[in-house]
Structure 1
Amino acid sequence: MEAFLISTGIVALAEIGDKTQLLAFILAAKFRKPLPIIVGILVATIANHAFAGALGAWITSLVAPGTMRWVLGLSFIAMAVWTLIPDKMDDDEAALARYGVFGTTLIAFFLAEMGDKTQVATVALAAQYQAVVAVVAGTTLGMMIANVPAVLLGDRIANRIPVRVVHAIAAAIFAVLGIATLLGAGGSLGF
């Protein structure tokens, strides 16, 4: 349950102001069809984060526990710093309209998440907790918590969210996880 809750919270916070949330705003404004956009986000996120979670689990099978503790700890601290760097939207990600609303959303979100901080966080969380299903479910829920309101409410909420404060909170959580991991938290997991 801890893996699920931490994964949900971290990704929901980290996603605010992220390029995929900006993409959700753009798609909502362009197509004005929330249901296929939401389903596209869900399917793309499940596919992307399932891959990331499996990668995280696989990495733990290759790396010695002591080394993994350092890799994870430093990864979480790097995620804290990365979370403080604002994302920018690529024009190419919004230029996929020929695939319809669902197809455009699916392709754009899947590609936008490749190498994105929430995908990297999913890899690290899956390695940390060794609970791929709970982590993927949590990170997917976190993505939906951040992106569904963006689709449904669009520009009405974009300017009301204090993005810097939310990013600072997410960065603090990543930093605490990184420091706790470096100090030996998760020892029961073999790190």
Structure 2
Amino acid sequence: MIAALLLSFGVIFVAELGDKSQLMAMTYALRYRWWVVLTAITVATAAVHAVSVFFGHFLGMSIPSDLMSILAGLAMLVFGLWTIRGDHLDDDETTRADRVGKSVFLAVMSSFFLAELGDKTMLATITLATDGDWLGIWIGSTIGMVAADALAIAVGALLGRHLPERIIARGAAALFFGFGAWLLWEGLVGAAPVTVISTLTAAVVLLGVGAAYLRHLRRTAAMTPPTDRDEETRTIAR
């Protein structure tokens, strides 16, 4: 078991360096508390690698990744729009803050889960689990990926202390849109024309609705008296 744990840790840690998931971890750390991001990533990673070990060790097969990449890409577009929107709360809205805090955890966890399905780290875990000790592979691969993403989170948290909030929000949104385009491209390469058309249509509609909603929020904010807007100074991102 120890040999399998060490092998899977090394393989997954190296495979994760420079991967889109590591960049996503750094981006999340720019906007949200590092421990929330790391906890969500740990839960998502443990779940994804449990699925990988199950398919690799017990079934000896892999799962199609095209649909998962498409769903993850659309999820990244949604999170990009959410980042632009921001999460400003009034001082009296403590219960709402708790709910939104939980939604950040769920959003980070779900986006990582979707992004990792079909990723090279998942495929590597499946391959390792085919002939190795499944428990050692699961633990080692999970720790290896979390360790690699923790490095990115540390960089993101450090940068977040030295950058203005507006620049962080815009940069994070741009990265999320980039991740979305990346994942959609991976899912649509070689796909049937019907799949390509329907996916692109869904992405355009999603971005259009999001843009209209953001314009509505800006108009509403412009009509809000300054004294009322000044009260909205606390955000869940910090």
Common fold by TM > 0.5: yes
Deviation sequence 1:50-72 (CA, Å, 0-9, x none)? 01101111234x9xxxxxxxxxx
Matched residues in 2 for 1:128 and 1:113: separation?
22
What is the percentage of aligned positions where both structures have the same residue?
34
1:42 is matched with 42
Q: CA RMSD in A?
A: 2.3
Shift in Å, 1:91? 7.4
Shift in Å, 1:2? 1.2
1:54 is matched with 54
1:153 is matched with 155
The answer to whether the 8 A contact 1:27-1:94 is kept is: no
The answer to whether the 8 A contact 1:38-1:151 is kept is: yes
The answer to whether the 8 A contact 1:4-1:137 is kept is: yes
The answer to whether the 8 A contact 2:29-2:157 is kept is: no
Structure 2 residue runs without a partner (length 5+): 62-71, 83-99, 160-238
Shift in Å, 1:105? 1.1
Shift in Å, 1:101? 2.3
Shift in Å, 1:30? 2.2
1:143 is matched with 145
Q: How does 1:80-91 map to 2 (within 5 A)?
A: 90=73
Matched residues in 2 for 1:11 and 1:94: separation?
27
Deviation sequence 1:141-170 (CA, Å, 0-9, x none)? 11111001211222869xxxxxxxxxxxxx
TM-score, normalised with respect to structure 1:
0.61
2:220 is matched with none
Q: How does 1:1-191 map to 2 (within 5 A)?
A: 1-31=2-32, 33-60=33-60, 90=73, 92-93=75-76, 95-96=78-79, 97=82, 100-129=103-132, 131-154=133-156
Bigger-Rg structure (1/2): 2
Matched residues in 1 for 2:35 and 2:103: separation?
13
Give the aligned residue type for 1:108.
S
Deviation sequence 1:117-140 (CA, Å, 0-9, x none)? 0001111000021x1111010000
Structure 1 residue runs without a partner (length 5+): 63-88, 158-191
Shift in Å, 1:90? 4.9
1:180 is matched with none
The answer to whether the 8 A contact 2:34-2:157 is kept is: no
The answer to whether the 8 A contact 1:94-1:108 is kept is: no
Change (3 A) 1:153 1:125: same
Shift in Å, 1:95? 3.4
Give the aligned residue type for 2:146.
M
Aligned residues: 128
Change (3 A) 1:94 1:16: farther
The answer to whether the 8 A contact 1:14-1:118 is kept is: yes
